[in-house]
Structure 1
């Protein structure tokens, strides 16, 4: 009984204002800042910024959508996550070794994209995009496991906020800075510079500490089939088949409105009459800081309030913010409409991102951190990636306005699932 009371008192220390102060004072917060930056850089360079580059070269929207499938590694990373849990590399430790390997591969892939370019051989270039996405997805898998293992559950919302702060800094580099460099010099120089930016989180890995493996399984003793099967078996054993499937479906649908627009956002800005410098300033500089504000608002709310209510607020915000894109559609090349759209979109994205990360972290078992979280993170992007790949065809068959309304309505299944899960998750 005394142990239960002590555990409850410890959990209470992480609630309210005291919880906010204690969580954000975690020593691991600075490390997560730099690792978040490393994760943010390749994501845009194989997605949003890449689409802008392709559109700037005159490539059709339908082709841009198809090329975006090369970044599908971000939604398939759970397939090789068990290998990351099972086989530590022979240097720097279980987590840091994989981080170094993925970051070195990122530098190579981004530099190769800069050399090749999309106009030499689109097939070769698409392969390099896929290699960049593979390295970035591997890095994300290890960073997520590192974050969950380095601190207690009660600190995860705060670490998610500092991680997303770093992630947003990475988005500034791979978004605003890359676009400015492309406008002032060339896309080749811009992507070379981005390859160089990966060196900072790489140095951070060498200076960081390896998580304490005390609470993790001795992965060297696990058979390879166990490494693949047990994480999924344990997830469904703990939640049951029906609840487990519902949780996976909910996570997969949560970011659908945002993911649908992601592939065509850059091309839409160009088609609306804005220059690469305009896009860099409004979307990838101003917008990122607005997103940071949304992320910290999300971290504070998750630390202080019931996460179920925050899931409702976040899902609705992500959906409704897509209607702001209609302002740009009806008022092209007008700066006020651009700023209004980016404000609504990025605040909601930042807020919802922290809420979702905290929710997914609560669903993982620390014996299978990398695999289970990778599965959840992959599902969070899967439906949107599928639709995003054909979004160019949808817009060419209709128009941007119809597409934005359709993306807003895609939140309905998410809300219905959340209503079913409300009394079954026990989330506090």
Structure 2
């Protein structure tokens, strides 16, 4: 992932680099909408006495983050009229997505979940769609705007901004809702999106050059397609060239580089986060049903959990630098699955704030470690010339199975209770552990190329 390791002094100075600082604000903009259509929205719905089965189905809104690969080639290569000439390819799409998030959040704030549940769902889908589009742009901007020696620092800055935004959208929204109401909370969150808008208007567009190998691959694809007699009739040449270069080439390059093993990699990506995503859908309803106040949840699960996540992120970075990718991947997968058993244990206990803090600490510490390690692994798989589309593929696969299975979490809780649900979520993490062990074994085999 890095051609040259920075010295300790260079590493510290790198955090003051303008590109690195910009990722803090862009990370904040990316992280803010996520909880507002996920666990924070679940709490609002439960507070409005929406049944848990419906809340579980609402988690499918997050599938938008998992299917963004389908429109990432458009964002990657198509210019927006006038806006792209003014801001450039990446920043124009970023700005459009950020404005869309703001407007949709305002719409959600003005919607009553008791009488306008369908409208609220549609607006939540719009927030998720615009947020996923913003993610495509920021991921590409992060990799394209700096050299390999700054990529680790860029990622660290992005993660800190993202987690800070989740603190605002989690604890901040809970505090505002407790003091005022959910309408005020979501209006405030819409206002916080101005952080991203201002940053987008301030930073400069990255300059990306396509190398000869990439052009040769795209040329071979176009030459092959033109030999098919029916193609020109179905698709004009200009559109065909765009489709092959923007949509087909990134996937061909990935499979060409990894061979059949690419299928194992994609399957591993798909199952790695199933356990924690499935559990996360019911986390806030679980806290509320145990009898905790919204302010207590904000203080312990959000603020205290935030610092444990940052600690886990730092530990994850140290583990990767000392042991490589695969040992920390195994550790992260084991920790994420096993901490669900702590929630199962807590489900059978009486309300206890200290117990909640302990379980939340373990969960967020493991989540911080696994998240940083997994991002490092995904980054190592990406060809920088197809960054947006390939990274969208990986991040889509990373969340899609968990989002789909999580949609049934309310049915599971209503039918079997929280204790059985959390055990079930822990079991879902076993395939990720086994695959991580296999991948480490394969990586250590002599003459094996990954």
Q: If the length of structure 1 is used for normalisation, what is the TM-score?
A: 0.92
The counterpart of 1:206, out of the listed 195, 201, 204, is: 201
Change over 3 Å in CA distance of 1:377–1:329 after alignment to 2? same
Q: In structure 2, the residue corresponding to 1:116 is in which secondary structure?
A: coil
The answer to whether the aligner puts 1:109 opposite 2:128 as a matched pair is no
The counterpart of 2:19, out of the listed 4, 16, 28, is: 28
Change over 3 Å in CA distance of 1:419–1:26 after alignment to 2? farther
Q: Which residue of 2 aligns with 1:189?
A: 184
Q: In structure 1, the residue corresponding to 2:87 is in which secondary structure?
A: coil
Q: In structure 2, the residue corresponding to 1:380 is in which secondary structure?
A: helix
Moved over 4 A (4+): 16-27, 215-222, 423-428
The answer to whether the aligner puts 1:332 opposite 2:350 as a matched pair is yes
| Contact kept in structure 2, 1:44 and 1:50, CA below 8 Å | yes
Q: Which residue of 1 aligns with 2:28?
A: 37
Q: Which residue of 2 aligns with 1:312?
A: 330
Q: Which residue of 1 aligns with 2:391?
A: 373
Rounded Cα–Cα distance in structure 1 between residues aligned with 2:14 and 2:198: 25
Change over 3 Å in CA distance of 1:422–1:22 after alignment to 2? farther
Question: Residue by residue, what CA displacement relative to the aligned partner does 1:261-289 show, whole Å, maximum 9, x if unpaired?
Answer: 11111100100110111111111111112
| Contact kept in structure 2, 1:33 and 1:166, CA below 8 Å | yes
Q: Which residue of 2 aligns with 1:416?
A: 434
The counterpart of 2:5, out of the listed 13, 16, 20, is: 13
| Contact kept in structure 2, 1:110 and 1:194, CA below 8 Å | yes
Deviation at 1:422, TM superposition (A): 2.3
The counterpart of 2:256, out of the listed 215, 227, 237, is: 237
Deviation at 1:22, TM superposition (A): 7.2
Alignment of 1:363-402 (within 5 A): 363-402=381-420
Deviation at 1:30, TM superposition (A): 1.2
Rounded Cα–Cα distance in structure 1 between residues aligned with 2:403 and 2:377: 21
Deviation at 1:293, TM superposition (A): 1.5
The counterpart of 1:226, out of the listed 235, 245, 260, is: 245
Deviation at 1:421, TM superposition (A): 2.1
Q: Which residue of 1 aligns with 2:231?
A: none
Rounded Cα–Cα distance in structure 2 between residues aligned with 1:65 and 1:13: 45
| Contact kept in structure 2, 1:260 and 1:384, CA below 8 Å | yes
Rounded Cα–Cα distance in structure 1 between residues aligned with 2:379 and 2:16: 19
Deviation at 1:303, TM superposition (A): 3.2
Deviation at 1:427, TM superposition (A): 9.2
The answer to whether the aligner puts 1:344 opposite 2:374 as a matched pair is no
Rounded Cα–Cα distance in structure 1 between residues aligned with 2:191 and 2:68: 24
Deviation at 1:152, TM superposition (A): 3.4
In angstroms, what is the RMSD of aligned CA positions? 2.3
Q: In structure 1, the residue corresponding to 2:367 is in which secondary structure?
A: helix
Deviation at 1:12, TM superposition (A): 5.0
Question: Residue by residue, what CA displacement relative to the aligned partner does 1:148-184 show, whole Å, maximum 9, x if unpaired?
Answer: 2123345433322221110111011110110111111
Question: Could you list the runs of 5+ residues in structure 1 that have no partner in the other structure?
Answer: 1-7
Number of equivalenced pairs: 418
Deviation at 1:420, TM superposition (A): 2.8
Rounded Cα–Cα distance in structure 1 between residues aligned with 2:322 and 2:22: 24
Q: In structure 1, the residue corresponding to 2:89 is in which secondary structure?
A: coil
| Contact kept in structure 1, 2:15 and 2:21, CA below 8 Å | no
Rounded Cα–Cα distance in structure 2 between residues aligned with 1:21 and 1:285: 26
Rounded Cα–Cα distance in structure 1 between residues aligned with 2:449 and 2:328: 11
Q: Which residue of 2 aligns with 1:74?
A: 65
Change over 3 Å in CA distance of 1:87–1:385 after alignment to 2? same
Question: Could you list the runs of 5+ residues in structure 2 that have no partner in the other structure?
Answer: 219-237
Q: In structure 2, the residue corresponding to 1:59 is in which secondary structure?
A: coil
The counterpart of 2:89, out of the listed 68, 78, 94, is: 94
| Contact kept in structure 1, 2:344 and 2:420, CA below 8 Å | no
